[in-house]
Each structure stands twice: as structure tokens, then as C-alpha cells.
Amino acid sequence: MGVTFLERLAARIARIGRRRGLRTDVAAVPDVPDPSRREFIRAGVGVVGGLAVAAVAPRLAPYPLANLARGLRDGTTPSGTGLAAAAPLITSPGHSGQHGLGHSGNIAVGEVDTKRMAYDPVPFLTQFDRGKVSQLPNGRTLRKFQVVAHDREIEIAPGIFFPAWTFNGTVPGTTLRVREGDRVRIQFVNAGTHPHTMHFHGIHRAEMDGVPGVGPGEIPPGGSFTYEFDAIPFGLHQYHCHTLPLKRHIHKGLYGMFIIDPRQGRPPARELVMVMNAFDTNFDGENEVYAVNTVAFHYAKHPIRVKRNELVRIYVVNMTEFDPINSIHIHGNFFHVYRTGTSLVPSEYTDTIMLCQAERAILEVRFPYAGRFMFHAHQSEFTELGWMGVFEVTGDDDV
Ligand SMILES: [Cu+2]
């Protein structure tokens, strides 16, 4: 009989504790290999049950970790550790309890507290910050933004909390939207506990690039800097912190979407923002939770409503750390692809695209049939760890 998933997980938690110099009972914990992400998926208790344990482990500092490990093996959970709150996440195969999804599956049970987090993935889909608009003496449009970095705990699945670093309090940060040729002025304030920068993708002078050692370089805690540049080229871009180690500063949540509309605009459409992201909840350099717009399975529980035959334009940016690529697949349909959004002519007609880290694309789609259509990463592993949602297409279906 081999070592069970829970025994491996318990051993892992104890090792985390030892690395952090916390009190552990080494003898009580078997010395076994780390559980891999795939074992999270295979675990009989369900995907998110395993994740919950991993996610709360770093928050258990005062609690003897070996006791937690023992509790896991014995099926008892210590009180006052945060684990109790996470327990309802555990779902069993074949028992769904979800209303947004038409079949049973390993998706997180319950809801995140959007009020506490001051972030709701549903309105986030259609929120654009166009800045404070004024005219420069030469007649050009000036758009002023303020972005504040600060530390904040966010909830990435029901009961799973992540100590994020945020732009404007949310992950992803506010979606900034300007028009081609505008002058863009961003007052950045670092109210966090680490040095940060704002690095925009686009064409600009070196000192506005937001990287260490150039121009203002890293902005220290309590510091501020105003980045200024012209909005070129039109397309779908992003901003993120560029402080080193880069993967940690990005993965902690310091990124957002930056849209430069073409001068002539794009045809009217229902527009949606989707930032592919993921979270390494136990800081081992691998992600355990995947999503678009942060909260695992949120759009499976709260389907995105669109009208039959209306033009839907989806802005997709991949900000996933640690995994080299991510992807999006839409069921029962095909879409036009505008890579980086820098052309008004689509380059592809397909139902699945993959994006490397920082790559982005605008997708345009019309749903000819009413009903529910899934969308998800086509890496099944990511799907099962949270990156999955549903479009609910409304309207008369005359077929
Ligand atoms: Cu940073």
C-alpha cells in the first residue's frame, strides 16, 4: 500500500513549517515526496479540497504544523486555524450542487465574499477606466490616471485566500482604456511594502519603461512617480510591475489590461475583459489555482449572459506565471482572432488559441444558438483547477 495523497500533503505542510522555522513534530510525519499538482487533481477528496489545505498552510504559523498534519491523516481538523472555514470547499465527485454548470464536476463549492474583497469578477468583465479627460494646449486629449499599489489579501476560490500585491486594490488591476494618439499620464503611488514599478507594453521613451535602473527605476514603499507617454500602437496591451524577481512581483497580482482603441474605433459590440491568471498558493513555483479574472470557476457559477447573434468582443491577456502557455477554447462556436489587437483585419478563424505569457488577442464571436456554452483553457489540468466558465446565450432560438 503506497503513501496516500493526504499523507504526502501532510508531509509537505510539515516541511513548509520546518523551512520557516516553525515548531513541527518531525517524527510524526512520514518522509515522502511532495504531492504534485496532478495529485491534487487525482485526489479522491476533490481538487479544491486539496487546494484549500495547501492555501491555508502559510497562514497557520502559530499552530504546530505536525498537529495539522496528524489532523489531516486522522480526518479531524483543528479549530481556529482557518482550515474549518475552508472545509466546505471539499466536494465529492458526482455531487455537484452548482447551478451555473449543467453537469457535476470538481468545481469549488460556495461563493467568494465579493464585498469583503471589494472585487466582483462579473462587473469586472465590463469595467473600463478611461481616465480623467482634458485637452492639452495643442488640442490633443490628455488622460490622467492614478494607480496605487498596496498589499491586500484576496479570495481566489471560496475559502482560499491569497496574500496579493495589487494595483488599485484588485487582481487584476483596473482595466485602463485610452484612444490611439492620446497623451497618457499615470500617477503611480507605491503604498505597498515592497518596491514596485509600472511597466506598460507600448512604444515609449526608456525612462517611462518602468524597469529597475532606468529613469526612476524601482519606486520604493511610500514613493511615487508619474509615467507619461503617447498611446501607440493601438491594440490590446497590458501593464505590470517589473521589479525583480519579476515572476514573483507579477504572480503576486501586479498586472492589468491596457487597451488602446484605434482612432476610428471598432464596431459596436458587447465587450468583455478576460485576464488569464493563476496562483501559486504554497509558493513552490507551481500554480494550484487557475482562472480568468482571478476567482476559480466564478463564471461557471455565474454564467456570462450574452444575446444570441450579438457581436461579442473578448479582450484576452495571458498573465499566468510559471506555466509558459495558456489557452482559451469556446464551445459550439468559432471566433475571429486579432492578435495583439494591432490590426482591424482578423488573422485567424478558429475555436481555440494559445497565448504565451504576456501575449494577448481580441476575439470576436457571435453565438447563433441560445443556450449554455462552456469556455475554458484547453489544458485540461488548468480547467480542472479553476479556469472554466460558461456563456449563457439568451434569445429566441429559431432552429
Ligand atoms: Cu513589484
Tell me how far the alpha carbon of residue 321 lies from the centroid of ligand 1, in angstroms: 14
Confidence of residue 81 (pLDDT cuts 50, 70, 90): very low
All three cell numbers of 76, joined, read: 479531524
Higher pLDDT, 124 or 85: 124
Q: What is the mean pLDDT of residues 62-86?
A: 33
CATH code: domain of residue 317: 2.60.40.420
- What is the rounded distance in angstroms from the CA atom of residue 128 to the CA atom of residue 247? 26
Confidence of residue 396 (pLDDT cuts 50, 70, 90): confident
Q: What is the mean pLDDT of residues 48-59?
A: 40
- Tell me: do 256 and 360 sit in the same domain: no
Q: How many CB atoms lie within 10 A of CB 1?
A: 3
In a domain, 107, yes or no: no
pLDDT tens-digit readout, 33-49: 444 554 444 443 333 44
Q: Note down the domain range covering 155.
A: 124-261
240 is in an annotated binding site: yes
Please report, as a single letter, which amino acid is at residue 156. Answer: I
Q: What is the mean pLDDT of residues 152-164?
A: 96
- Tell me: do 341 and 374 sit in the same domain: yes
Tell me how far the alpha carbon of residue 378 lies from the centroid of ligand 1, in angstroms: 30
201 is in an annotated binding site: yes
Tell me how far the alpha carbon of residue 222 lies from the centroid of ligand 1, in angstroms: 13
- Tell me: do 233 and 350 sit in the same domain: no
Tell me how far the alpha carbon of residue 175 lies from the centroid of ligand 1, in angstroms: 18
Tell me how far the alpha carbon of residue 253 lies from the centroid of ligand 1, in angstroms: 9
Neighbours of ion ligand 1 (CB under 5 A): 196, 241, 243, 249, 254
Tell me how far the alpha carbon of residue 67 lies from the centroid of ligand 1, in angstroms: 35
- Tell me: do 257 and 282 sit in the same domain: no
pLDDT tens-digit readout, 227-249: 999 999 999 999 999 999 888 88
Contacts 24+ apart (CB under 8 A), 10-13: 10/68, 10/69, 10/70, 10/72, 10/73, 11/69, 12/54, 12/282, 13/53, 13/54, 13/57, 13/65, 13/68, 13/69, 13/72
Tell me how far the alpha carbon of residue 240 lies from the centroid of ligand 1, in angstroms: 8
Tell me how far the alpha carbon of residue 285 lies from the centroid of ligand 1, in angstroms: 17
378 is in an annotated binding site: yes
User: What percentage of the chain carries pLDDT values higher than 90?
Assistant: 70
Q: What is the pLDDT, as a whole number, of residue 105?
A: 55
Please, which residues bridge with residue 261 across strands?
179
pLDDT tens-digit readout, 288-347: 999 999 999 999 999 999 999 999 999 999 999 999 999 999 999 999 999 999 999 999
Of 89, 111, 137, the residue at which a domain comes to its end is: 89
In a domain, 94, yes or no: no
Tell me how far the alpha carbon of residue 180 lies from the centroid of ligand 1, in angstroms: 27
- Tell me: do 311 and 361 sit in the same domain: yes
All three cell numbers of 59, joined, read: 497562514
User: What percentage of the chain carries pLDDT values higher than 70?
Assistant: 73
- Tell me: do 130 and 257 sit in the same domain: yes
Q: What is the pLDDT, as a whole number, of residue 30?
A: 38
In a domain, 365, yes or no: yes
Tell me how far the alpha carbon of residue 241 lies from the centroid of ligand 1, in angstroms: 5
Instruction: Report in angstroms the alpha-carbon separations of 153 from 115, 162, 174, 343, 365.
Output: 13, 6, 17, 38, 35
Residue 28 has pLDDT above 60, yes or no: no
User: Residue 292: which of 304, 277, 302, 279 has the closest Cα?
Assistant: 277
Q: What is the pLDDT, as a whole number, of residue 180?
A: 98
Min mean pLDDT across 4-18, 82-96, 268-282, 319-333 is at 82-96
Q: What is the pLDDT, as a whole number, of residue 106?
A: 64
CB 86 within 8 A of CB 56: yes
